[in-house]
Amino acid sequence: MSLFKRSFAEFFGTFWLVFGGCGSAVLAAAFPALGIGFVGVAFAFGLTVLTMAYTLGHISGCHLNPAITIGLIVGKRFPLKESSAYIVAQVLGAIAASGTLYLIASGKPGWVMGGFATNGYGANSPGGYSVTACLIAEVVLTAFFLLVIMGSTDSRAPKGFAPIAIGFCLTLIHLISIPVTNTSVNPARSTGPALFVGGAALSQLWLFWVAPILGAIIGALIYRVFFAEKEA
3-class DSSP state for residue 130? coil
Q: What pLDDT shows up at residue 152? A: 98
Nearest CA among 168, 164, 22, 32 for reference residue 99: 22
CA distance readout (Å), 101 to 18, 92, 157, 162: 9, 14, 37, 29
The angle formed by the CA atoms of residues 38, 119 and 96, to the nearest 5 degrees, is 95
pLDDT in tens, the chain (232 residues): 899 999 999 999 999 999 999 999 999 876 777 778 889 999 999 999 999 999 999 999 999 999 999 999 999 999 999 999 999 999 999 999 999 999 999 999 989 999 999 999 999 999 999 999 999 999 999 999 999 999 999 999 999 999 999 999 999 999 999 999 999 999 999 999 999 999 999 999 999 999 999 999 999 999 999 999 876 5
pLDDT digits (tens, 9 = 90+) for 46-81: 999 999 999 999 999 999 999 999 999 999 999 999
The domain limits of the chain are 3-227
Which CATH architecture fits 3-227? Up-down Bundle (1.20)
Distance CA 162, CA 166 (A): 6
Distance CA 121, CA 114 (A): 16
Q: Which long-range contacts (CB under 8 A, 24 or more apart) does 80-86 make?
A: 82/3, 82/6, 85/3, 85/4, 85/6, 85/7, 86/6, 86/7, 86/10, 86/60
Q: What pLDDT shows up at residue 229? A: 84
Nearest CA among 180, 143, 172, 169 for reference residue 68: 143
Burial of 133 (0-12, 13-18, 19+ CB in 10 A): middle
Q: What pLDDT shows up at residue 231? A: 64
Q: What pLDDT shows up at residue 232? A: 53
